[in-house]
Amino acid sequence: MLTFRKGFKDGLPIALGYISVSFAFGMLAVEKGLPLWSPILLSISNFTGTGQFAGIDLISSNAGLYEVIFTILVINIRYMLMSLSLSQRLDKDISVLQRMVISFGNTDEIFGVCIRQKEPLTMRYMMGIILCSYSGWNAGTVLGVLVSSALPVMIRTALGIALYAMFIAIIIPPARDSKPVMKVVLLSVLLSCIFRFVPVIQRLGSGWIIIICGVISAGLGAYFFPLALGDTGADAQDDREAHK
């Protein structure tokens, strides 16, 4: 059952990962000379990683408003695809107003964990996972602002890999069980690595590169390995439970 409790529990690893990232965010903002309240306000109102880090640069370099709009939209355009994908997984009883609340919490990590669920996602589950993660995100920011350099550098650099490792834990098991998913993943990794080193394309920035890689690999996957309607593409998503 996708209860509030289950959502909150699934949100714990996200919250832990978030604390380290938003901690770094809070510290960096203070180091760059932003007023202490601004990173906290950013975390409360934005709840996003890349965009907020870019925001620190935009504010400290006194960027123009159009530059802010363009930069943040480019970084966030992939969420349109992720929201569209998530919309297919939500329980049909969830109202438009509830969807508007859920979408505030559609971060990369929450999205990643949600797509592992086989059942339609309930409002209670979404509230649990979002509240838990959101708390971690804001707690980390406040701590980062307050303590600034209490955490030794050696521990901070080790935490840098936490969220990436979590993504690996999300994509590898389904890729292991489904050859098409594995091919989509490998193609996307290959494209992404190539694009980061191709002179013209690398200037697009990571936001666009991620979208291009995702759309090309998933587009080819859908063309060569069409799924039956209602199939989620990965059938062995429940194995995680066996290891608890």
Partner 1 sequence: MSTQKIILVIVIMALCTYLPRMLPLALFRKKIKNQYISSLLCYLPYGILAAMVFPDIFSSTASVISGITGTAVALVLAYKRRGLLPVAVSACAAVFITERILALMGIL
Site for partner 1 in 80-109 (CB under 8 A): 80-88, 90, 96, 99-100, 102-104, 106, 108
17 sits near partner 1 (criterion: CB under 8 A):
yes
Rounded CA-CA distance 194/142 in Å is 38
208 sits near partner 1 (criterion: CB under 8 A):
no
36 sits near partner 1 (criterion: CB under 8 A):
no
112 sits near partner 1 (criterion: CB under 8 A):
yes
Q: Which of 72, 37, 33 is nearest to 55 (CA)?
A: 72
Which CB, 4 or 112, lies closer to partner 1?
Answer: 112
Which CB, 74 or 139, lies closer to partner 1?
Answer: 74
1 sits near partner 1 (criterion: CB under 8 A):
no
Which CB, 145 or 171, lies closer to partner 1?
Answer: 171
Q: Which of residues 176-205 bind partner 1 (CB under 8 A)?
A: 176, 180-181, 184-189, 191-193, 196
Query: In the structure encoding, which two tokens stand for residue 138, read together?
Result: 């804001």
Q: Near partner 1 by CB under 8 A, which window of 65-73, 133-141, 142-150?
A: 65-73
27 sits near partner 1 (criterion: CB under 8 A):
no
Residue selected from 27, 130, 145, 170 as contacting partner 1 according to rule CB under 8 A: 170
Rounded CA-CA distance 137/18 in Å is 5
Which CB, 150 or 161, lies closer to partner 1?
Answer: 161
Residue 150: CB atoms within 10 Å: 10
Residue selected from 149, 165, 179, 235 as contacting partner 1 according to rule CB under 8 A: 165
58 sits near partner 1 (criterion: CB under 8 A):
yes
240 sits near partner 1 (criterion: CB under 8 A):
yes
Q: Which of residues 116-145 bind partner 1 (CB under 8 A)?
A: none
Nearest approach in angstroms of CB 92 to partner 1 is: 8
53 sits near partner 1 (criterion: CB under 8 A):
no
Q: What is the 3-class SS of the chain, one letter each residue? A: CCCHHHHHHHHHHHHHHHHHHHHHHHHHHHHCCCCCHHHHHHHHHHCCCHHHHHHHHHHHCCCCHHHHHHHHHHHHCHHHHHHHHHHCCECCCCCHHHHHHHHHCCCHHHHHHHCCCCCCECHHHHHHHHHHHHHHHHHHHHHHHHHCCCCCHHHHHHHCCHHHHHHHHHHHHHHHHCHHHHHHHHHHHHHHHHHHHCHHHHCCCHHHHHHHHHHHHHHHHHHHCCCCCCCCCCCCCCHHHHCC
239 sits near partner 1 (criterion: CB under 8 A):
yes
Nearest approach in angstroms of CB 98 to partner 1 is: 10
